[in-house]
A = this chain, B = another copy of it.
Amino acid sequence: MNLVGKHTVAIVDDHSLFARSLEKLINSFSHFRVLFHAKNGVELQERINEEKILPDIVLLDINMPVMNGFETAEWIMGNHPKIKILALSMEDDEQTILRMLRKGAKGYLLKDIHPEILNTALKELMEKGYYHSDKVSETLLHSISPDEEGRVMDFKENELIFIQLACSEMTYKEIAHVMDLSPKTIDGYRQDLFKRLKIKNRVGLVIFALKKNLIKL
């Protein structure tokens, strides 16, 4: 709540065109005003340490080069838990959404929503303390059953490394060599993953890894 009786918002997003534009939009809402924006978590820390007044809400992007949304959310919750985090991202996969909510985000918005939804979300966030769109709520319910998506998605360290290497042009033999394991062990990883993820071949694994953000292009 600032001088003119509006709730304050900080934007954390490395896409400055989007951030600046969003600032204009939010400032056009009756009850909200943008306090500042930061290109990443580190810049947010600096700004918060400088400013005397904390924002009521932080609009937080996830994909940022220096200090990403997860890390930033963690820091905010640890140092300024009164700030309400509203995640705002392109990522629409369950894992990312859940991870962000576990880090303390009070809401999760996709970037391709209607502007009025943002206004609603901000208002509900201040009134109820949280906001969850239908899509996100659905995701939450769907994820209560950890049978399907929980056990399946809980990868061991070696499995993750294998998946990443399998998303390259290496043969399994080569993968076994760089991981310093027997080709038969690698074959075991492969077979186990194929069964758990219900995929038929290596291409399926690559597609899966991409969809779940396990690898970057």
A residues within 8 Å of B by Cβ? Answer: 14-18, 20-25, 27-28, 111-115, 117-118, 166-169, 171, 199-204, 206-207, 210-211, 217
Contacts and interface: CB of A to CB of B under 8 A. Distances in A.
B207 A16 contact: no
Contact of A112 (B15, B24, B206): B15
CB-based closest 9 A-B pairs: A24-B24, A21-B21, A20-B115, A21-B25, A169-B200, A169-B204, A15-B112, A21-B22, A16-B114
22 contacts: A15-B111, A16-B113, A16-B115, A17-B25, A18-B18, A18-B111, A18-B112, A21-B21, A21-B24, A21-B115, A24-B24, A24-B25, A24-B27, A167-B207, A168-B207, A169-B199, A169-B207, A202-B202, A203-B203, A203-B206, A207-B217, A210-B210
B16 A112 contact: yes
A61 B20 CA distance: 18
Contacts of A113: 16-17
Contacts of A117: 17
Contacts of A24: 21, 24-25, 27-28
Nearest to A20: B115
Contacts of A202: 202-203
Nearest to A14: B112
Contacts of A25: 17, 20-21, 24
Nearest to A28: B24
Given A16-B112, A24-B24, 12 more contacts: A17-B25, A17-B112, A17-B114, A17-B117, A20-B115, A24-B27, A167-B203, A167-B207, A203-B206, A206-B206, A206-B207, A210-B217
